[in-house]
Amino acid sequence: MDVTSHDRPSVPDVPQILAPKDPAQAQALEAERVLRQDRLPGFDQQAVANAHVLVIGVGGLGCPVVQALAAAGVGSIALVDHDVIELSNLQRQLLFGIADCGRAKAEVAAHRAREIAPALTVTVYRRYLEASWILDLLAEENPAVIVDCTDTFATKYLIADAAEITGIPLVWGSVLRYQGSVSVFRTGSTHLRDLFPTTPATLESCAEAGVLGATTAVIGSLMATETLKFLAGLPTLEGQLLTYEALSGTFQNFALSPDPERAPVTDLSAYELPKILLDVREQDERETQVKYPDSLHLPLSATTEDAVRAMLKPLAGECVGVFCKSGARAAKFIKNWDAVAEEYSITLVGI
């Protein structure tokens, strides 16, 4: 089976005409398909064909990344995404159509990738990425490179820290409104925390601030380009930050350097979840998205001072982890009610 799905049934194989069983025929078709790329000077197509890539997040950035890597002849890809396709995704997640709404993003993306490249092997993890299993995931997959296509800084820090611990190179990208950025991080070189020591205070999610769908395609394509350059043995954006501003149509390149005072990450203990969790998602999200059955629940839309005090007072002296789907509402809850929490000696942390 060329598509392996973890925690869900495997996605259907592509039609047999697109997936010849004869290895010689498959190899000949693949060689013809990537012929123009194989002619590039200094480009090691065989290294690309032998490579295994881990793509985390199959949304606005992940869709163009998966599409480009499959088309470029990458040998195998593992996809990690817990989410399902929604109508509001389709403006920028171009691997999906209206008929796919309600289906798992990772599984649909795997099927689309195999339609592009029948020789491609795809492994699907339909799971929420957490510190409790990311190192096991990296040990199991042992990818040549990780591509971070996620959309929350909490997850991006987790991926960057795990990459530093394991020594696996990381292609990183981010997009918001009309802007995006791309870089390549490696152990012993630059790290996401050299660029952003802490989560930006003014951070908003794409759901709140908006995003131009075509901009995600630009940034995702740049991320795929950096991935292919790395696999093919070409120079990458390591030690640099490339930014794109759609309104002005300009690119800028900034030099990055490691922070000599930053201690290397050696474990993920900082990501251990607090014993008490507070879910600020809406009730329908709580029922259909990732579930934490023992968590407390207070939707951000229903927060009043009386409601917050009633929730927090019995938790005096505790550390409470606040979460939502993207992290934006959790950050807003903490900003709005941190002073009240302090009255009860409660520490609020976003997760």
Q: The tokens of 192 are what?
A: 């996401």
Higher pLDDT: 203 or 124? It is 124
Residue that the structure tokens 């099927």 belong to? 111
Domains plus CATH for the chain? 3-255 (3.40.50.720), 273-350 (3.40.250.10)
pLDDT tier at 325, thresholds 50, 70, 90? confident
What pLDDT, on a 0 to 100 scale, did the predictor assign at position 121? 93
CA distance 223 to 236: 10
What pLDDT, on a 0 to 100 scale, did the predictor assign at position 272? 76
What pLDDT, on a 0 to 100 scale, did the predictor assign at position 172? 98
50-101 confidence digits (pLDDT tens): 999 999 999 999 999 999 999 999 999 999 999 999 999 999 999 999 999 9
Average pLDDT (126-136) is 91
Q: The tokens of 258 are what?
A: 């490691």
**Can 63 be counted among the known catalytic residues?**
no
How far CA 175 is from CA of 96, 244, 248, in Å, comes to: 19, 9, 16
What pLDDT, on a 0 to 100 scale, did the predictor assign at position 18? 38
What pLDDT, on a 0 to 100 scale, did the predictor assign at position 182? 98
Highest mean pLDDT out of 11-25, 108-122, 200-214, 238-252: 238-252
Q: The tokens of 260 are what?
A: 């000599």
Q: What percent of the chain shows pLDDT beyond 70?
A: 91
235-262 confidence digits (pLDDT tens): 999 999 999 999 999 999 999 999 999 9
Looking at residue 277, its amino acid is L
The mean-pLDDT minimum among 81-85, 181-185, 282-286 falls in: 282-286
Q: Answer whether 299's CB lies under 8 Å from 323's CB.
A: no
Higher pLDDT: 151 or 238? It is 238
Q: What percent of the chain shows pLDDT beyond 90?
A: 71
Following DSSP, what letter does each residue of 114-146 receive, concatenated?
A: HHH-TT-EEEEE-S---HHHHHHHHHHH--SEE
Where on the phi/psi map is residue 139: left (φ > 0), alpha (ψ -120 to 50), or beta? alpha
First to last CA, the chain: 36
pLDDT tier at 4, thresholds 50, 70, 90? low
CA distance 308 to 247: 41
Looking at residue 326, what DSSP letter applies?
S
Following DSSP, what letter does each residue of 261-288 receive, concatenated?
A: TSPPP---GGGPPPSEEEE-S-HHHHHH
pLDDT tier at 270, thresholds 50, 70, 90? confident
Pairing of strands 52-56, 3-6: unpaired
**Marked catalytic residue, from 63, 101, 149, 206:** 206
What pLDDT, on a 0 to 100 scale, did the predictor assign at position 326? 72
**Marked catalytic residue, from 101, 149, 319, 324:** 324
Buried b (16+ CB within 10 A) or exposed e, 18-50: ebeeeeeeeeebbeebbeeebeeeebebeebbe
CA distance 332 to 350: 10
CA distance 260 to 279: 37
What pLDDT, on a 0 to 100 scale, did the predictor assign at position 16? 31
Would the CA dihedral through 331, 170, 49, 224 be positive or negative?
Answer: positive
What pLDDT, on a 0 to 100 scale, did the predictor assign at position 8? 43
CA distance 55 to 11: 18
CA distance 126 to 82: 5
What pLDDT, on a 0 to 100 scale, did the predictor assign at position 329? 86
Q: The tokens of 241 are what?
A: 């930050």
What pLDDT, on a 0 to 100 scale, did the predictor assign at position 2? 58
What pLDDT, on a 0 to 100 scale, did the predictor assign at position 149? 98
CA distance 268 to 347: 20
> At residue 324, does pLDDT exceed 80?
yes
> At residue 222, does pLDDT exceed 90?
yes
Following DSSP, what letter does each residue of 38-102 receive, concatenated?
A: HTSTT--HHHHHH-EEEEE--STTHHHHHHHHHHTT-SEEEEE---B--GGGTTT-TT--GGGTT
191-210 confidence digits (pLDDT tens): 999 998 877 655 666 666 78
CA distance 53 to 47: 12
What pLDDT, on a 0 to 100 scale, did the predictor assign at position 349? 85
Residue that the structure tokens 């199959």 belong to? 58
The DSSP bridge partners found for residue 173 are 182
CA distance 151 to 129: 12
Residues whose CB falls within 8 Å of the CB of residue 103, separated by 6 or more in sequence, listed in order: 84, 85
